[in-house]
Structure 1
């Protein structure tokens, strides 16, 4: 069987991570790097002297026939680049968000469906063994019928984060689109589709023309109610990055959690994986002590597992764990939250 060859578009922070993982993986090869407009990466040829470098996807595909393409370019290029891959019948992994807006995302989902395309969206946390273990607890009924969800993504981004990417301090670059879209994928995985959102946003700390803190109420289609607090201006350990112990770039706090999922029989604190529950057949009561258990989980790099899934998708041995529809739906919810914050109103999210 031929070893899959992968093209990476956009050698920025995430693109370089994809390149590193491809080069370290025994089951694929790096066929080329695309640097649209050089994308601030004038030294990329020096860093990868043995890899073909192209300045556009079109010029790349004119001289190469990759097994798959990973799109890590700026958001505004995702739609056109993914569309070209789909039309050429090339499997594609699109970094989140799937496109710059939901209208483009729906069009891409429809195109992929018509062409029977292989499309995976880069919500890598969904590949985490932590999420797999949590889903098993929830779906197995251990918590009873779900009642409520509480979550947070609170961290402090230093000044150099914004200096390195000035676009991050402008509309479209705030934590709703950069960070919250990851959390939306997790909330949907835990509690199902989101029916309505209500949000209040503030830029009081940084005073950029984009939010730095957002408080969100959520209504899920199955009746679950949730709250989520998002901030990139608060010094706190209560975020996935600083509790999951999956990314060595961040300090971690194993005793802390960023999510809590509650049902009629018990609660799961995540990612400590602590379950406090009334075991069956005991009837739940606030007078009866809850039984505590820590669920063991073997941690693995979710980005590595995502690449494994993409290779399986290319080879036709597996379906995408995060298909185009999920990427579009996550973006739909993120846009609804932004719209709710702007209008200070409850925003319904139509089922599709």
Structure 2
């Protein structure tokens, strides 16, 4: 029996979820809530009932689950409405636009015992899942250094939505947060960050470029370079071929190096010496890691249905999503204040 799911927000990301729901036999899209006039046509297209008030929709339809795809600042309000009604929900990332709001939601979720899945869909991608496994198994030895890139060129029309130009909506919270979440998932929590941020190209209130240094709890060090105004194939969205509406341009966006081997992602090549006593004057051999070919967004939806049915706990819980948000907000603070910022300081 398929699970009855409602969609809160019918914009760009919401429509993507509607397409995925229609294609999945385990789920049925029964309602859409949105305040925009254009959302009526989306509801008609997907055969779902339309509501302008999300609470009215939840009370009327009593769905098995809800997907929240609203602007960042509205995530917590919608998620709380679901939690109050004991309805499991998938909340698009970031879990909230502020850490205070995220903490409020986490407290409510953990008190009510209602599962909330945060939509960091890359964790459901086979390359990210395999990388985590390889690091955990010690295939790279002791992890020493990590490099990540997310650079692309967004068009001017993208910023017609005012919230994307304002605090709480810049590429740190919209884009780099995915990379931070991936690195936390693969390599472990990040304890400290340093950063430079710039808005020199577009002069918006939010950054368009950032360079970041991080220290993981394991002691490994990492660097991240981000820009949404740079022509580049060096971003996971296009490199992995997992994004719903970007062309696939094979490249690597993450590089992990340990005392035994190095791994590139999403190309999934491991580089190591042929013998344990070899060193930098000896050649390396390359081993390609084969993946299962599954799709991140489809995996995420199937996982959410499993969560609804009580077969799984959220891969990215509300608390886990809050820690990713805290790490990104620490980066933003480090850029503003030109100093090292610890994630514990943000949570304290």
8 A Cα contact 1:152 1:228, kept in partner: yes
Give the match for residue 102 of structure 1.
99
SS of the aligned residue for 1:305 comes to: helix
Deviation (angstroms), 1:349: 1.1
- Supply the distance in 1 between the matched residues of 2:103 and 2:167 (Cα, whole angstroms): 22
- Supply the distance in 2 between the matched residues of 1:4 and 1:284 (Cα, whole angstroms): 55
8 A Cα contact 1:246 1:299, kept in partner: no
TM-score between the two structures when normalised by the length of structure 2:
0.95
Give the match for residue 136 of structure 1.
133
Give the match for residue 41 of structure 1.
39
8 A Cα contact 2:40 2:50, kept in partner: no
- Supply the distance in 1 between the matched residues of 2:70 and 2:209 (Cα, whole angstroms): 26
8 A Cα contact 1:10 1:39, kept in partner: no
Point out the more displaced range, 89-98 or 295-304.
Answer: 295-304
Select the residue among 152, 167, 170 that pairs with 1:171.
Answer: 167
Give the match for residue 9 of structure 1.
8
Give the match for residue 127 of structure 1.
124
Deviation (angstroms), 1:188: 0.3
| Structure 1 stretches of 4+ moved >6 Å | none
Select the residue among 221, 245, 252 that pairs with 2:217.
Answer: 221
Change in Cα spacing, 1:289 to 1:18, as seen in structure 2 (3 Å) is: same
8 A Cα contact 2:115 2:314, kept in partner: yes
Task: List per-residue Cα deviations over 1:71-103 (Å, max 9, x = no partner).
Answer: 111122211111121121111110001112111
Task: List per-residue Cα deviations over 1:20-73 (Å, max 9, x = no partner).
Answer: 1111111111110011x327535334434x321111111112311100011111
Residue 245 of structure 2 corresponds to residue 246 of structure 1: no
Residue 282 of structure 2 corresponds to residue 288 of structure 1: yes
Select the residue among 138, 142, 158 that pairs with 1:145.
Answer: 142
- Supply the distance in 1 between the matched residues of 2:91 and 2:121 (Cα, whole angstroms): 11
8 A Cα contact 2:15 2:42, kept in partner: no
- Supply the distance in 2 between the matched residues of 1:94 and 1:331 (Cα, whole angstroms): 13
Give the match for residue 161 of structure 1.
158
Point out the more displaced range, 170-179 or 88-97.
Answer: 170-179
- Number of paired residues? 346
**RMSD between aligned residues:** 1.6
Change in Cα spacing, 1:137 to 1:39, as seen in structure 2 (3 Å) is: farther
8 A Cα contact 2:210 2:226, kept in partner: yes
8 A Cα contact 2:72 2:169, kept in partner: no
Residue 82 of structure 2 corresponds to residue 88 of structure 1: no
TM-score between the two structures when normalised by the length of structure 1:
0.94
Give the match for residue 206 of structure 1.
202
Deviation (angstroms), 1:121: 0.5
Change in Cα spacing, 1:76 to 1:246, as seen in structure 2 (3 Å) is: same
Task: List per-residue Cα deviations over 1:137-192 (Å, max 9, x = no partner).
Answer: 211211100001000000011112123x2322222221101101111110101211
Task: List gaps (5 residues or longer) in structure 1.
Answer: none
Give the match for residue 342 of structure 1.
336
Residue 273 of structure 2 corresponds to residue 278 of structure 1: yes
Task: List per-residue Cα deviations over 1:312-335 (Å, max 9, x = no partner).
Answer: 011111111111111111110111
Task: List gaps (5 residues or longer) in structure 2.
Answer: none
Give the match for residue 60 of structure 2.
63
Give the match for residue 176 of structure 2.
180
Residue 323 of structure 2 corresponds to residue 322 of structure 1: no
Change in Cα spacing, 1:185 to 1:279, as seen in structure 2 (3 Å) is: farther
- Supply the distance in 2 between the matched residues of 1:81 and 1:5 (Cα, whole angstroms): 18
- Supply the distance in 2 between the matched residues of 1:81 and 1:173 (Cα, whole angstroms): 18
8 A Cα contact 1:150 1:227, kept in partner: yes
